Chains A and B, each alone.
Chain A
Amino acid sequence: MVIKMIRVENLWKSYGEKKVLQGIFFEAEKGKISCIIGPNGSGKTTLLKILNLLETPDKGEVYYNNICLTELNDNGKRFYIKKMAMVFQQPVLYNSNVFDNVAIGLRIRGLRKNEVTDQVNDILKTLGLYEYRDKHAYTLSGGEAQRVCLARALVLKPEILLLDEPTSNLDPSNTQIIENVIKEYCREEGPIVILTTHNMFEAKKLAEKVSLLYNGKIIEEGDVKNFFERPKSDITLKFVNGEIIF
């Protein structure tokens, strides 16, 4: 049996003169939380957007279950985009209430009204947002907004969940809620989860596999225990010892 996984091969991406990704090889497996850790500007967001097929790499390919996604046409890409869901670093809110903000992905998929209502209500309850369902999204706090964005992604039951620093800027209680929901979702649905962070503790708490992205390259990669306890490269060691603080 083929193990479900997403994989990138020799990915290069520049913005103008700035080389952001310089030959990335990376893969993430189903049922595991993979964590990409790296300092500001190291290219984490860029990598996730390429995985989500929102950005095209200058060179290199993205494969999902051995299908090359980057060479598909728009319709083909959209088919696979619909199997993924990404939570962006900065919360994105639509000019409507919480319910509509969470329902939009299901509506794009053409679900019937009562199905949308049921599924959205469920996820709102899971994330402690049910009482806010008629509140305008622009009046939410930062933590509430981030939870709405996670709800919008999870309600789609994606095969691939991409989370761009889902808990940065959040207080411990919001962080706790979000981390628990991510773990729970992973246990129940067994998706591919790729999460970026610059927080070592979050990586330790959530991830099973950790990759260190530094200057556009994956410096080191391994299961969480080895990564933190027996780092191979100097940079990882410095990072784990707290000498480079991200």
Chain B
Amino acid sequence: MEETFPTIIFNDEVIQITLLSFKISCTAVALATAISLPLGIALGLKDFRGKQFVLSLVNTLMGLPPVVVGLILYLLLSTSGPFGPLNLLYTPSAMILAQLIMAVPIVIGLSYSAVSTIPEKVIEQTHSLGATKYQLFLVVLKEARVGILASVVAAFGSAISEVGAIMIVGGNIRYFTRTLTTAILLYTSMGEFDIALTLGIILLITAFFINIFLTFLQSKQNPTFRRKFRRLKFGD
């Protein structure tokens, strides 16, 4: 057979895979954000004994190897495991769970660092204005909004490009649990380069937009940087 360079194809399967990937990662990151943001902010505001230990733990978990997460989750969800009766293995729910587990420490860790850059005097001023704990939380959320949004976007970026964990617990079932990354893995090994390359390009474009957005967020962080950024974009 004649060797040809792979071409980009667009069919129902490509669209279905792309949408499923986004659905799974968006859900996982949304849930992770709801859980992690209060924790990250509390960690940034409160001093308590063992805080250093908690921070080291979060940092370690931020680099959790996906295949290990997949393996542990597999053992927990498989028929003989403690959560076997829930019948979650090889479902999108299991994949959401896997990505959620990996996103939680990322959002906690990065939103914690965003909050800890808020000067102490801003917190003090807010207390001095008579803010309740909840109002302080909202003020902090607003002050660190750029860094917090960046933490969510970064978590999404790593979720959508992750492969090991969702492969193990999702099983890469066509039209059901097959996502961008697991499909690329499979179709490449099968020699179906057209669809593999198409999906790869979609993933790349996604990553590219995520990075553009992150850079934009950084430029919003302070007004002087924003001027430099504008000059960079529209200058010579």
Q: A residues near B, CB below 8 A?
A: 49, 52, 54, 78, 81-82, 84-86, 88, 90, 92, 94-96, 104-105, 108-109, 136, 138-139, 152, 156
Evaluate whether A108 and B124 lie within 8 angstroms (CB atoms) in the complex, with A136-B223, A138-B223 already known: no
- Bound together, the chains give a CA A29 to CA B139 distance in angstroms of 33
Which of chain A's residues have a CB closer than 8 A to the CB of B222? 138
The answer, yes or no, to whether B132 is at the interface (CB within 8 Å) is yes
B218-229 Cβ-contact flags toward A at 8 Å (1 or 0): 000011100000
- Bound together, the chains give a CA A54 to CA B127 distance in angstroms of 7
The answer, yes or no, to whether B80 is at the interface (CB within 8 Å) is no
User: Is A54 touching B130 in the complex (CB atoms < 8 A)?
Assistant: no
Apart from A81-B130, A92-B125, list 9 A-B contacts with CB within 8 A. A52-B128, A78-B130, A82-B129, A85-B129, A92-B121, A108-B131, A138-B223, A139-B224, A156-B129
The answer, yes or no, to whether B51 is at the interface (CB within 8 Å) is no
Which of chain A's residues have a CB closer than 8 A to the CB of B139? 94, 104
Interface size class of B (residues with CB under 8 A): 20 to 34
Which of B119, B122, B129, B142 makes the CB contact (< 8 A) with A108?
B129
The answer, yes or no, to whether B215 is at the interface (CB within 8 Å) is no
12 contacts between A and B (CB under 8 A): A81-B130, A82-B130, A84-B128, A85-B128, A92-B124, A94-B122, A94-B139, A96-B142, A108-B135, A109-B130, A136-B223, A138-B223
- Bound together, the chains give a CA A66 to CA B125 distance in angstroms of 26
User: Is B128 touching A95 in the complex (CB atoms < 8 A)?
Assistant: no
Chain A at the B interface: SS class:
mixed
B226 to A, closest residue via Cβ: A136
- Bound together, the chains give a CA A96 to CA B223 distance in angstroms of 10
User: Is A86 touching B130 in the complex (CB atoms < 8 A)?
Assistant: no
Q: Which of B129, B135, B142, B224 has the most CB of A within 10 A?
A: B129
- Bound together, the chains give a CA A109 to CA B132 distance in angstroms of 10
List 9 tightest A-B contacts by C-beta distance, closest first. Answer: A82-B130, A92-B125, A105-B129, A81-B130, A136-B223, A92-B121, A86-B128, A108-B131, A108-B129
The residues in B between 108 and 141 inclusive whose CB is less than 8 angstroms from any CB of A are 119, 121-122, 124-132, 135, 139
User: Is B128 touching A81 in the complex (CB atoms < 8 A)?
Assistant: yes
B128-172 Cβ-contact flags toward A at 8 Å (1 or 0): 111110010001001101000000000000000000000000000
- Bound together, the chains give a CA A84 to CA B129 distance in angstroms of 8
Which of chain A's residues have a CB closer than 8 A to the CB of B127? 54, 81
Which of chain B's residues have a CB closer than 8 A to the CB of A105? 129-130
B200-236 Cβ-contact flags toward A at 8 Å (1 or 0): 0000000000000000000000111000000000000
